[in-house]
A and B are shown apart, each in its own frame.
Chain A
Amino acid sequence: MAAKKLNMKEKYRLLTRDLDWEFSYADRKKAFPFEEFEGIKITDWSKWEDPFRLTMDSYWKYQAEKEKKLYAIFDAFSQNNAHLNVSDPRYINAIKIFLTGITPLEYQAYQGFAHTGRQFGGVGARVACQMQSLDELRHVQTQVHAMSHYNKFFDGFKEWTHMQDRVWYLSVAKSFFNDARSGGPFEFLVAIGFSFEYVLTNLVFVPFMSGAAYNGDMATVTFGFSAQSDEARHMTLGLEVIKFLLEQHEDNVPIVQKWIDKWFWRGSRLLSVVAMMMDYMLPNKVMSWKEGWEVYFEEAGGALFKDLARYGIRMPKYAEQIRKEKEHISHQTWWTFYTYGQAAGFHTWIPTDEELDWLSEKYPNTFDKYYRPRWEYAKKLEAEGKRFYNGTLPQLCTTCQIPLLFTEMDDPTLTAHRCSHYKGDQYHFCSDGCKDVFEEEPEKYVQSWLPVHQIYQGNCGGPGLPEILQDYYRFEMGADNMDMKGSPDEARWKQWKGVA
């Protein structure tokens, strides 16, 4: 008897989809206890569509091939001391933010997808989450391995495992993922699988990585693109999840819309740091943050939401606000880090004249009017030997945990500040978006571990800022922080390059 030829879909279905069974002896709800509390209604998990039918054997085969290529490049990179090939030592500071800020997010993604990969009642969705969990662990580890060589030659990397749980700006990223993971499994998928992966990670891994390539950083571009090739699977999982939830029950639509509103806002806030990396930390420029945003958020996201309109899903709330912010956030964020340069675990600097001109050209509506004058002033102070550092602790937004540094979009000279009251206490926010997110679930956000509050409460050592930075954050003062000018990184670079 000649065996029937199976196509990929049939084969995947037969190998995977029927592994689970109806329980007869134990309470299945006890085995999968988190499916109902969010109010999401799943009537039939078998309607789940697997976009990629990847069986484990193929997974091992293709992923091993990716890893082989990647590690060959890492080995060559370190054997050839290829850190000497980057465009400019300032660039390395973007990579420091990557390891301390983004790599820990990959770790939380691993944890979050392991959770959903155990908890979803449908085997198709579960297996997709499990593979994503494994991929995310891959991203953590390949990033650490890529940075390992830089750590040997530059400051700012060595305490990343310690810093991720403590440093004020890293709390922004950590709280974002803590928020998603502490929700139910469906909110996590909408938050990370859909909102974050589908639209936002592209901005990190595509234009920024292309920038890394253009700045001579082979190791980073290689892990970046290699990671993003997994991301194509993840994005598709995110989209399938949304379609599945919307098709399962009409009652799911408003819940999903509420999550989309929340998570696109939370995500766009989180990405303000990537905006600054793109515009200020890549010495060789590929595209501005605004241009990247237009391609990967407005165009790609616009197409996505047009596609989802048939389910009754509309563009995320605050989309209009987000559209206006692309002109501003990179400048406001870098300026904040520059002025708090003593409290940042990487170096900051004033853009060169050439870079200022590039920013003027890329941001004709805003840069010369609002931001260039600040840098001209900073230049003047620096020339007088009075490089400016802000020594006061900022007010943080209770939701996104970013200092109140963003302005009203209709008046970019006015810092935005919103308040809300809950059980007799006052809470502060950077925006309407963050205030609304808080008011939807105040009992969650009152728990926030806000770095500045924690310092005031004496939970981070002290008494002064220098002790906190040195002992609690474990910054090596003057090496990990402060201006690029006069840093050991800069001195070593000059020595390697044989310039005075």
Chain B
Amino acid sequence: MSKVYLVLQDNDVSRYILEAVEEDNPEITIIHNPAMIRIEAENYMVVNRETVEEKLGRDWDVQELHLNLVTLGGNVDEDDERLTLTWNE
């Protein structure tokens, strides 16, 4: 198994994104480092626009993720609805 990961800046918006990621990806590991939050999962992780919007209570464009993102690992696919990270085994 390989880990995909997403690292977010530790700020207010990130907390809502993290909540959304937790809800949509049951098996994730969250690691807090100074100023950043690292989220890991086995092979697959998704950030859904709809869930983030629900948590934030406002419209949210998937491209806005980049404002809070530090880094990521995995094959990326981004469209209007979601960003996914995948490793092929």
Contact = CB atoms under 8 A, between A and B. Distances in A.
Interface of A: 7-9, 51-54, 58, 62, 65-66, 202, 205-207, 209-211, 213-214, 221, 225, 228-233, 235-236, 239, 286-287, 299-300, 302-304, 306-307, 310
A300 B67 contact: no
Given A225-B35, A286-B34, A310-B88, A51 B63 contact: no
A206 to B, nearest CB: 6
Contacts of B87: 303, 306-307
Interface residues of B, number: 30
Nearest to A229: B69
Interface in B45-70: 63-64, 66-70
Given A51-B76, A307-B87, A210 B35 contact: yes
B2 A307 contact: yes
A286 B63 contact: no
A370 to B, nearest CB: 29
B70 A206 contact: yes
Contacts, number: 95
Contacts of A304: 73
Contacts of B15: none
12 contacts: A8-B79, A9-B79, A65-B67, A209-B35, A225-B9, A231-B71, A232-B71, A300-B3, A300-B5, A303-B2, A304-B73, A306-B87
B72 interface: yes
B7 interface: yes
B29 interface: no
Given A229-B66, A232-B66, A210 B34 contact: yes
Interface string B1-30: 011110101000000000000000000000
Nearest to B64: A62
A357 B4 CA distance: 34
Contact of A239 (B3, B9, B66, B75): B75
A70 to B, nearest CB: 11
A51 B78 CA distance: 7
B2 A228 contact: no
**Residue of B33, B35, B75 with most chain A CB atoms under a 10 A cut-off:** B35
Contacts of B80: 7-8
Contact of B35 (A51, A53, A213, A302): A213
The 9 closest A-B pairs by CB, nearest first: A303-B2, A213-B35, A214-B34, A213-B34, A210-B33, A236-B76, A229-B69, A210-B34, A51-B76
Contact of B66 (A62, A287, A307, A310): A62
Contacts of A206: 7, 36, 70-71
B79 A7 contact: yes
Given A53-B78, A302-B2, 20 more contacts: A9-B79, A52-B78, A58-B63, A205-B71, A207-B33, A209-B36, A210-B33, A213-B34, A213-B35, A214-B34, A228-B70, A229-B68, A232-B72, A299-B3, A303-B3, A303-B73, A303-B74, A303-B87, A306-B87, A307-B88
Contacts of A211: 34
A58 B4 CA distance: 26
A229 B67 contact: yes
Nearest to A59: B63
Nearest to B36: A210
Contacts of B36: 206, 209-210, 213, 225
Nearest to A58: B63
Contacts of B34: 210-211, 213-214, 286
Contacts of B68: 229
A233 B78 CA distance: 11
A287 B7 CA distance: 16
Contacts of A230: 66
A146 to B, nearest CB: 15
Contacts of A236: 72, 76
B71 A62 contact: no
B50 to A, nearest CB: 15
A7 B78 CA distance: 11
**Residue of A8, A51, A225 with most chain B CB atoms under a 10 A cut-off:** A225
Contact of A221 (B35, B72, B76, B78): B35
**Residue of B4, B68, B76 with most chain A CB atoms under a 10 A cut-off:** B76
B59 to A, nearest CB: 14
Contacts of A9: 79
A287 B34 CA distance: 11
A235 B5 CA distance: 13
Nearest to A5: B80
B74 to A, nearest CB: 8
B87 to A, nearest CB: 5
B14 to A, nearest CB: 11
Contacts of B4: 303
A53 B87 CA distance: 21
B76 A306 contact: no
A286 B67 contact: no
A306 B89 contact: yes
A211 B3 CA distance: 23
Contact of B71 (A221, A235, A287): A235
Contacts of B79: 7-9
A302 B5 CA distance: 13
A231 B71 CA distance: 7
B77 to A, nearest CB: 7
